[in-house]
Structure 1
Amino acid sequence: MTKNVVNERAKFAFEKVSKLHGEALQKYRSHVRSLPAMILSNGFGLAMAFIYSKSDYRIFYKHINEWFKEQKTPGFDGNDLMGIIAESEIDTYRFLEAETLALLEWLKRFAEGADSQ
Structure 2
Amino acid sequence: MAETKDNTLRTQEQKRMAHAWASVSKITGQQNSKLAKDYRSLVRQAAADVMTSGLGQTVAFWRSKIDERKHNGEEQKAVYESVDSWLRAQLNLTKSLHEWIVAEGTTTVTYMRATRETIAYLVWLKRFAEGEIKVD
Q: Does the pair score TM above 0.5?
A: yes
Q: In structure 2, what is the Cα distance between the partners aligned to 1:48 and 1:115?
A: 23
After superposition, the CA RMSD in angstroms is 1.7
Task: After TM superposition, give the deviation of residue 23 of structure 1 in Å.
Answer: 2.2
Aligned to 2:98: 82
Which amino acid in the other structure matches residue 23 of structure 2? Answer: K
Aligned to 1:29: 40
Aligned to 1:14: 21
8 Å CA contact 2:40, 2:133 repeated in 1? no
Match status 1:48 vs 2:59: yes
Which amino acid in the other structure matches residue 11 of structure 1? Answer: A
Match status 1:64 vs 2:83: yes
Task: After TM superposition, give the deviation of residue 51 of structure 1 in Å.
Answer: 0.8
Q: In structure 1, what is the Cα distance between the partners aligned to 2:62 and 2:41?
A: 14
Which amino acid in the other structure matches residue 22 of structure 2? Answer: E
Q: In structure 1, what is the Cα distance between the partners aligned to 2:62 and 2:19?
A: 19
Which amino acid in the other structure matches residue 27 of structure 2? Answer: L
Which amino acid in the other structure matches residue 13 of structure 1? Answer: A
Q: Which runs of 5+ in 1 are unaligned?
A: none
Task: After TM superposition, give the deviation of residue 85 of structure 1 in Å.
Answer: 1.0
Structure (1 or 2) with the larger CA radius of gyration? 2
Task: After TM superposition, give the deviation of residue 77 of structure 1 in Å.
Answer: 2.6
Number of residue pairs aligned between Structure 1 and Structure 2: 112
Q: Percent identity?
A: 31
Out of 105-114 and 84-93, give the one that drifted further.
Answer: 84-93
SS of alignment partner, residue 27 of structure 2 = coil
Task: After TM superposition, give the deviation of residue 96 of structure 1 in Å.
Answer: 0.4
Q: Which of 89, 99, 110 is equivalent to 2:128?
A: 110
Aligned to 2:114: 96
Which amino acid in the other structure matches residue 10 of structure 1? Answer: M
